[in-house]
Amino acid sequence: MKQLNLGGSNWQASQIAFGAWRMDALSVDQAAKAIDTAYDCGINFVDNADMYGKGESEQRFGDALKKTSVKREDLFIQTKAAIVLGEKYDFSREHIMNAIEGSMKRLGVDYLDSFLLHRPDPLMEPEEVAEIFDDLQKEGKVRHFGVSNFNPQQFLLLQESLNQRLLVNQVQFSLMHTPMIDHGIHSNMADDRSINRDGELIEFSRRMDVTLQAWSPFQYGFFEGVFIDNPKFPELNQELQKVTDKYEVSKNAIAAAWILRHPAKMQVIIGTMNPKHIIDSCQADGIEITRQEWYDLYKAAGNDLP
């Protein structure tokens, strides 16, 4: 599988990542099968978070990894922390340090390849976070750092205090979630799509050489469901089928290839636990849809061109 240099660094990882947020619903054997399938497809990057399944997704992954043929050193393992579900976002030293320890214990690892701050905390003290990151790196617990769902100013506010480069920003992006590009297309207009909701996040990330990790690549709304083969979206699925037939791959693969076609060089995080769907999604590797196909899919998803 094609490898990306994350955040302009020398750290290379698969352009498609395995998101383990649903893993808590699996048995250990089922989770092991999902991990083996992803690795056999060329995926070497795993994304998790301490809030997924209230820690059970990390625990299931850690237990399952021991039953696979995959070695820990063959994978890049990333997790996230800072969300206290339904209560607050917490970047305090006590919370982050405890979260890291808990995650490593559940995952069964003695270091994390990457750690992300999971959604912005309005009470963030950049200097405090900088000390936390320095200590985590000095202690060998975390190798790389990033954020999730930060806008450009939040990103810069933190980056300016750090000794480490923030390599990634994990954001929602898919054919059915495109505000990051809508307002650019509708620049200098007065319609709803012209509203700048994220501060030119894609353009900022390209200029700063930050890798955007696209989560929920097959979802619509905020975890409302998948758009693939969903009768609510007949025009999009008709267009997906047309492109699917041309390249002889799955609709999942074309939906992922649509994201990978963007010159921002994003990493796609697939969240399926179904081995067949994992294999289908990995078919996106090596597929480069045309410019016209990219626009046709964008329009079929309900978007317009002014």
Q: How far is CA 138 from CA 59, 106, 131, 142, 147, in A?
A: 25, 22, 10, 9, 19
CA 294, 299, 303, 306 torsion-angle sign: positive
Q: Which of 39, 52, 220, 298 is catalytic?
A: 52
**CA-CA distance, 164 to 177, in Å (whole number)?**
30
Torsion angle (degrees, nearest 10) of CA 257, 178, 15, 159: 160
Single-letter amino acid code for the residue at 125: E
Residue found under tokens 């990333």: 78
295 is catalytic: no
Half-sphere exposure of 212 (CA within 13 A, CB side): 29
Q: Strand (E) positions, the chain? A: 3-5, 12-14, 16-19, 45-47, 76-81, 83-84, 88-89, 112-118, 142-148, 166-172, 211-215, 219-220, 225-226, 267-270
By CB atoms closer than 10 A (0-12, 13-18, 19+), residue 12 is middle
**Neighbouring C-alpha atoms within 13 Å toward the C-beta of 300:** 22
The residues facing 269 across adjacent strands are: 17
Closest to 269 in 3D by CA, of 205, 218, 209: 218
Tell me which residues are annotated as active site. Answer: 52
